[in-house]
Amino acid sequence: MQPNYKTLATIIVSLSAIMSTTQTNALTTETKASAVVFSKSSCTKLAHTTQPFILVLSNAEDLLGSITQCAKDAKLKSATFSGLGQVHNPTLAYFTSNPNDKPTLTTFSGYYELASFNGDITNNNNEYYSHAHAVLADKKFHGIAGHVNKAKVGLTAEIAITPLPVPVQRAVDNKTGFGPIIE
* Of residues 170, 175, 171, the one with CA closest to residue 100: 175
Domain boundaries along the sequence of the chain = 34-182
Sequence-ordered list of residues with C-beta below 8 angstroms from that of 112, at least 6 positions apart, any chain: 86, 87, 88, 90, 136, 137, 138, 144, 154
Which CATH architecture describes the domain 34-182?
2-Layer Sandwich (3.30)
26-41: per-residue pLDDT in tens? Answer: 344 455 667 788 777 7
Buried-state track 142-156, b at ≥16 Cβ within 10 A, e below 16: eeeebbbbbbbbbeb
155-164: per-residue pLDDT in tens? Answer: 999 999 999 9
Percent of all residues in the chain with a pLDDT value above 90, rounded to a whole number: 69
Arithmetic mean of pLDDT, 97-109: 93
* Of residues 103, 106, 117, the one with CA closest to residue 153: 117
Confidence of residue 1 (pLDDT cuts 50, 70, 90): very low
Question: Which amino acid belongs to residue 116?
Answer: S
Question: Which amino acid belongs to residue 168?
Answer: V
